Amino acid sequence: MSAYESIIFISREVLVYQIPPLRSSKGYCAAEWDVDRPLWRGRLRVLETGADATASRVRCELRLEDNTTGELFASAPYLVTGKGVEQVTDSSRFFVVRVVDGDRHAYLGMGFMERSEALDFNIALQDFKRHANPSAEIIPRSGPHTKEAVKDYSLKEGQTITISLGKGTHVRRSPNPTTKNSALDSGALPFLPPPPSAQQIKDQMRSVTHATEEDDDDDFGDFVS
């Protein structure tokens, strides 16, 4: 695939300053610069480049160029981590950029004439970071590595399980206690006879006693004859 180059931001005039070394861990402060005496002024172009449109191969570069001739004054790579450009702590219009020339690098101040331009510059850098770091976004995946949906294997009401216990022997189990009556009605389990009443028990006892007495009388008659 062919290389591409896209301009994601342009400003016709920015001011560049030589700045003192960083003195505090809190960051750079534009009030310490001589803002009335810029080191250079010219055009800023922010370019997105890459071997192709693959997010892992795109690069971002700030190019400070002469407005008339287009001659390059300095180049500052911008990383997806945010390294390369830092906003000062006391103004929204001023930044510190890390310009690179081969193995050498230096930190320069950069200021915009309008706050709106500084805001657009910030937005362009944030857009590049989102484009170059798609892993920070939720991307649906497809194919063999897609996580399968969880399947519900639980039995629904009214369904039964048939279990084989041997040759021709099957037991049906109902998954829900509420289906017990329907299982009984279908003949899955036999009905138990109701318990005998007290009167029935008395009648049975009388029958047994009467039969015993008749047997005794028959035996005694055979004996005396």
Report pLDDT for 4.
Answer: 80
First to last CA, the chain: 130
What letters, b where the CB count within 10 A reaches 16 and e where it falls short, cover 162-185?
A: eeeeeeeeeeeebeeeeeeeeeee
Q: What are the pLDDT digits (tens) for 35-92?
A: 999 999 999 999 998 866 555 578 999 999 999 999 999 999 999 999 999 999 999 9
Q: How far apart are CA 67 and CA 42, in angstroms?
A: 5
Domains and CATH numbers, the chain: 4-136 (2.30.29.30), 158-189 (no CATH)
Q: Is the pLDDT of residue 121 over 70?
A: yes
Report pLDDT for 13.
Answer: 97
Q: How far apart are CA 180 and CA 138, in angstroms?
A: 49
Q: What are the pLDDT digits (tens) for 205-218?
A: 776 555 555 554 54
User: Chain-centre distance of CA 133, in angstroms?
Assistant: 16
Q: Is the pLDDT of residue 128 over 70?
A: yes
Contact present, 90 and 31 (Cβ < 8 Å): yes
Is the pLDDT higher at 197 or at 49? 49
pTM value?
0.58
Q: Is the pLDDT of residue 7 over 50?
A: yes
Q: Which helix (H) or strand (E) holds 40?
A: strand 40-50
